Amino acid sequence: MTRARRPSLALEMALAVLCLACACLMLVSSAAAKPKASTKSVQESMQAYEQQLASGQISVAKFSPAKHTMHLTLKDGSHVHVTYTHGEEPKLRAALLAKGVSLPAVAKPKISHKNRYIAAGVVVLVLILIAIGVVVLVRRRRAARDYGE
């Protein structure tokens, strides 16, 4: 009598672990996805900025010193950003303050490592499950070999 061939236990366990890992990664990636804000800003030149400043169209200005850019909110509600050269920030701040433009302090963004820890935990869990599967498989094969002798 011929026996039906089944996939090996190791193959079944590897497939189960792979499916579990994919499911966990899908959960982590969907939890990490955040909708982006849809405010469009237009790049403008320094000349356009100076004209807007002279005519009093600017209501709020936020500086990004690392990128050397200013994000301006105009009185009509539109957003623009202007790139300035290195060292011009103090002069630009003084000109904006002289015109009465609001300069809110920009807080440093808080970096959350929560998603990294979740992903690391999932990877460790998958590795532990693979190790347990290998140990069980080796013991079963050893027991079957010893029993058959």
* pLDDT tens readout for residues 19-30: 777 776 777 776
20 lies in the same domain as 58: no
36 domain-assigned: no
Nearest to 61 by CA among 31, 100, 107, 23: 100
CA 43 to chain CA mean position, Å = 25
Q: Give the number of domains in the chain.
A: 2
**2 within domain boundaries:** no
pLDDT band at 135 (very low <50, low <70, confident <90, very high): very high
**pLDDT confidence bin for 129, thresholds 50/70/90:** very high
Q: The domain spanning residue 85 has which CATH number?
A: 3.30.720.210
The answer to whether position 106 is within a domain reads no
Phi then psi dihedrals of residue 26, to 5 deg: -65, -40
Q: What is the pLDDT of residues 79-101, one digit of tens each?
A: 999 999 988 889 998 999 998 88
Q: Within this chain, do residues 50 and 82 fall inside the same structural domain, yes or no?
A: yes
User: Is the Cα torsion angle 8, 13, 14, 18 positive or negative in sign?
Assistant: positive
Lowest mean pLDDT of 18-32, 41-55, 74-88, 100-114, name the range: 18-32
Give the count of beta carbons closer than 10 Å to the beta carbon of residue 96: 20
pTM of the predicted model over 0.85: no
Tell me which residue range forms the domain holding 25: 9-31+111-148
